[in-house]
Amino acid sequence: MRIKTFKVLITFPSTAQALHMEQCCREKGAVGRLIPVPREISAGCGMAWAAGTEEKEKLQALISEAGIEVEAIYEMQL
């Protein structure tokens, strides 16, 4: 059985923005990965970036720097 932990989830209005996030995170060495959006929330493209909550500020700075469009940022147990 897998133990649920708190994660930061970032949702996007389009698949292009989600893939842009993935590319920027790889280039900058940021932690996380793309996952399907959990059914508890909804998002335009159905993809979300998931990372540990300790990464939230770093990811927000990267989003701002790269000009990535996001729908919302959540913290939830996964």
What are 8-65's pLDDT values in tens digits? 999 999 999 999 999 999 999 999 999 999 988 877 899 999 999 999 999 999 999 9
In a domain, 52, yes or no: yes
Is 65 contained in some domain?
yes
Helix (H), strand (E) at residue 7 = strand 6-11
Residue 15 lies in a domain: yes
pLDDT at 43: 73
As for how many domains the chain has, the answer is 1
CA 5 – CA 77 distance, rounded (Å): 5
- Nearest one of 28, 40, 34, 30 to 12, comparing CA atoms: 34
Which CATH number do you get for residue 37? 3.30.70.260
Q: Report the SS3 class of residue 26.
A: helix
* Residue 59 belongs to some domain of the structure: yes
Alpha-carbon separation of residue 76 from 10, 13, 54, 71 (angstroms): 11, 20, 13, 16
- Which residue range(s) make up the domain with 46? 6-77
pLDDT over 80 (residue 1): no
